[in-house]
Structure 1
Amino acid sequence: MGCSTITVKFLVLLFNFLCAVLGLATIVINALAIKDMAPDGRPILWVFIAVGAVVFLTSFLGCFGAIKESICLTWTYAITMLALLIISVVVLFVFRMHIEGAVTAEDELNLAWEKQKNGTDAMSEYQKQFHCCGINGVKDYTIAHLTVPESCFDHDNAYTVGCLKEMETFYDELWEGPKIVVWILMVIEIASFTFSTILGVTLRNEQRRYGY
């Protein structure tokens, strides 16, 4: 086995280890975010968790294939990494096109506000959690000819900020962790796919040379 083969084999093992770490981190970070995420954002987090789990498990296949210098396992791992990379890119594209903190917050609050106007105190949970009042402020209640609920007050003082602004910030920050870890995971997936492919080609070439 040549020096170049040993180097590529080492790089495959290194990026497999990083894949395992990032796959586990993807599972943990998305699992922590999912309990506070709005319903329309949870499917994407579940997909990220599934990708992280498959990456974590597949990394052991890649390590075993590299250690045993198995052409079949090495190519299986490379193809799996490529498939996971494509899935990650598609999910991130869908996320950027359809999921934003502002849109999530606005949809959720508009639904709660309609219920509030129909006599259900649906805004209460948001106003208590985010220390806010109405969608854009306490004036929303005045305009709608509604009584300002107790959840809008901190002791005797009404919250001056609207819930939309607070929730936009909350969801943007909530998405930050999953986005960062998935972007890093994608970079590692690219590196793992590249070096696994190189190792597969190298092992195949060596097998052919020894066959003559």
Structure 2
Amino acid sequence: MSLILLKRLVLFLSALLQVLGLILIGYGILLLYTGNTYSGGLVIIIGFVIMIMAIFGFKAVMSGAPIRILVYVVAVVLLILTQVVFLVIVSHGIKDGISGIISDGFERLWEVERNKSGALAYYENWLHCCGVNSSEDYWIIHHAIPSSCCLDNKCVDQSSVYKAGCKAAFTEYFDDKFLVFKIVCWLLVIGEAVGAVLCCLLYSNLKNET
């Protein structure tokens, strides 16, 4: 593989890693918004570290200095190991933590709903759900099913009432978002591994030229 082609491939991967790092930062902000401060902060930090590493790799390749490229390879290998450990440990922690937050949040909303109708209306309209667990929640507290529980806000009959509870609907929504996080993380690991191999080849070629 030619030296010019190697440089172009590494530069392309560096740009791609910067984009994925930005996506990871965005996901971390989402975690902060949902109340998971610790996990959200960690994800944002990793996103920033990845972006900084990608920029450093870009500059190292542009400089053509073998020692800088070697330092970048070592740093990337350490970063990959850190990410794999983080992904294995935190993936379960984030999901379990968020599940608890979702459950507590909807239980608090339901307490409000008992005293003042409309507390769940936003989620019912957004997620096409009804009550915390199902529409039967309203029958239990002797409240009429609100229009937000029905298709087009029109409760014509039982068939027009949304079947899913809002807690389950929101959990499913978050699971989809969590899947994006895992995909981005594994893409980062794969991209970094490929980049490290290419940088090793680049380092070898540059050393042979000197």
TM-score above 0.5, yes or no: yes
**Which AA in structure 1 matches 2:139?**
T
**Consecutive unaligned residues in structure 1, runs of 5 or more:** none
Q: Is 1:168 matched up with 2:171?
A: yes
Higher relative contact order, structure no. (Cα contacts within 8 Å, ≥ 6 residues apart) = 1
**Which AA in structure 1 matches 2:94?**
I
Asked if structure 2 preserves the Cα contact closer than 8 Å seen for 1:17 and 1:59, the reply is no
Change (3 A) 1:63 1:156: closer
Q: CA deviation at 1:121?
A: 4.9
Q: 1:185 aligns with which of 175, 179, 188?
A: 188
In 1, distance between residues paired with 2:14 and 2:183?
15
- Render the CA deviation track for 1:123-145: whole Å, top value 9, x for unaligned: 23222221211122111122244
Q: CA deviation at 1:189?
A: 0.9
SS of 1:100's equivalent in the other structure is helix
Q: 2:76 aligns with which of 62, 81, 87?
A: 81
Q: 1:141 aligns with which of 138, 143, 149?
A: 138
Q: What is the RMSD of the two structures over their aligned residues, measured on CA atoms? A: 3.6
- Which shifted more, 141-150 or 79-88? 141-150
Change (3 A) 1:37 1:124: farther
Change (3 A) 1:95 1:110: farther
Asked if structure 2 preserves the Cα contact closer than 8 Å seen for 1:136 and 1:164, the reply is yes
Change (3 A) 1:83 1:120: farther
**How high is the TM-score relative to the length of structure 1?**
0.71
**Which AA in structure 2 matches 1:96?**
S
Q: CA deviation at 1:24?
A: 1.2
In 2, distance between residues paired with 1:54 and 1:147?
52
- Render the CA deviation track for 1:88-138: whole Å, top value 9, x for unaligned: 223322342123388264343233224434658532322222121112211
Aligned pairs (5 A) from 1:186-201: 186-197=189-200, 199-200=202-203
Task: Kindly tell me the number of residue pairs found equivalent between the two proteins.
Answer: 202
**Consecutive unaligned residues in structure 2, runs of 5 or more:** none
SS of 1:132's equivalent in the other structure is coil
